[in-house]
Every structure is written in C-alpha cells, then in structure tokens.
Amino acid sequence: MERKIRNKDPLGRGLGCHPYVYTMLSIAGILTFLFVWQLLLVTGVVSDRYISKPTELFLLLIRKFSDKSPDGSTLPIATLASLKVAVTGLVLAIVTGVPLGLIMGWYKGADRFFSPIFEVLRPIPPISWIPLTIVWLGIGLRAKAFIIFFAAFIPCVINSYAGIKMTQKVLINVAKTCGASNFTIFYKVGIPSAMPMTFAGIRVALGNAWSTLVAAEMLAANAGLGYMILMGRSFARPDIIMLGMVCIGALGALFTGILGIFEKRITGWRR
C-alpha cells in the first residue's frame, strides 16, 4: 500500500490534510458556533429576551445598511467613522513609534534621551487620556485618533526597540568587515533583523487600537460602532449592541488577516 506524505507542517505536527480540508474545518467551526447559538435560543434553553438569534442579527445587519435608527447613522457610515479613527491613530502610531523604537534600540544616546519620557508615559492607560483629550480637542476625529494613537504607539516602540536590540552581533561584524558604516549597518542589518518583532508589535498595536476605539467612542462620539453599542444600551436594544460587537469582531479579524499578508510579504524569508 502506498501512502503519500502530505504533512506540510514544518514540525510535522498533526495529521497533515489537504489545505482545502483545513479551510472547510474553519468554516465549519464558525457555522457550528452559530448553529449552537441559534439552537439554544430556539429551544428556549436560553431566553431570547436579552440575546438575539444569529438569523435575527443577519436580518438586522441587512436592514442597518439603510436604517439610521436608533443611533442616527447607518451601519456603513458607523463603520466608516470607526475605521477612519482607528486607521488614523494606528498609522500615526506606526510611522512614529516604529522608527522611534528602532532608533532608541540602535543609538544609545537616543535611548538615554527618550527612555525616561517614555517610561513615564508608558504606564498611563490610554483610556485615561480621554477626559483631557475631550477638553483639548473635543470629540471629533482628531480627539479619538489621539487616544488610539496612545494605545497603539507603546507596543510599536517597545517591540521595534526589543527587536533591533536582538540583532545578531556576528551579522553586524559581517557588515563591518564588508566596510559598512554604522548607519548602513543600522539600515541594512538592524532594521531587517527587527522586522519579525516589529510586526508582532504592530499586531498588538492593532488589537489595542481597535479595543480602545470602542472605549473612546463610548465616551466621546456621535457616530461609530462603539457609539452604536452605547446607543443600543440607551434604547434597550440588545440586537443593536450585539450587531455592533459582531461587526467589531469581524473587522478586527479581517485587519489581522490583512496584516498577516503584509507580514508574510516582508518577512517571507522565515520559512
């Protein structure tokens, strides 16, 4: 009897099935979850007073595409509002935090200069910036983006800092014997070495940004997914709350997926 070895896992874990089977398993997982949820409500094991059925949520989702009640904006508008805030804050955090971390990790002077400021700012919970931000910037896009920025900035700095610190001494030596200047080594050896850790940081930043977004919108906003949840509570509409939660969850997963694709592109050499 011939037996094909299809196990592609580098460590040989698991049974090794066709990729198609794995995709199907993931889909089946979600469907099972929804099915059990629906079943519990239909059979009355769980009361449907405070929890909506998946089918109801689905219908609400479709309706919310044009319906503005009760929070005053349709779902696409709310989503767009949230995305704008999250992306603005996150992008700002990445473009400032990652270079700062890299520079601090490489140049001792920069490390000594920025570290004290950073160490004091670091333990302040991002959410505690909300009251001040409202005073300074109101409740517009800038204010919320600022709060997101703080939530996402810290992991960007910490991880790129740690990543570049772990650059192998011998690779630096290779570059030196090849006649590279300190800046060239930083740019061509340090930064690529730091990439895997940096991406892990961006992943954390993404999660932080998204979860802080809801908190920020709950306190200060007039549109957005977090705001929608808040309004759902005011109007005693558990279905609206749950729809908001599901949308946040799904978008978060989508973002993580997109980031994963980017990461594979850039750190594809780690196979």
Q: Enumerate binding residues for other proteins (CB under 8 A).
A: 168, 170-171, 173-180, 184, 188-189, 192, 195, 267, 269-271
- Supply the minimum distance, in Å, between the C-beta of residue 182 and other proteins: 11
Q: What are the two backbone dihedrals, phi and then psi, of residue 64, each rounded to the nearest 5 degrees?
A: -65, -10
- Supply the minimum distance, in Å, between the C-beta of residue 260 and other proteins: 18
Q: Which is nearer to other proteins, 55 or 181 (CB)?
A: 181
- Supply the minimum distance, in Å, between the C-beta of residue 176 and other proteins: 5
Q: Which is nearer to other proteins, 194 or 214 (CB)?
A: 194
Q: Which is nearer to other proteins, 117 or 170 (CB)?
A: 170
CA distance 148 to 137: 14
- Supply the minimum distance, in Å, between the C-beta of residue 99 and other proteins: 19
The amino acid that residue 62 corresponds to is I
CA distance 80 to 85: 9
Written as six digits, the tokens of 181 are 């200047």
Distances from the Cα of 61 to the Cαs of 37, 82, 209, in angstroms? 17, 17, 24
Q: Are 215 and 151 in contact (CB under 8 A)?
A: no
Best CA proximity match to 248, nearest among 232, 236, 263, 235: 232
Q: Which is nearer to other proteins, 11 or 30 (CB)?
A: 11
CA distance 87 to 69: 26
- Supply the minimum distance, in Å, between the C-beta of residue 36 and other proteins: 42
Written as six digits, the tokens of 232 are 């759902």
Q: Which is nearer to other proteins, 74 or 184 (CB)?
A: 184
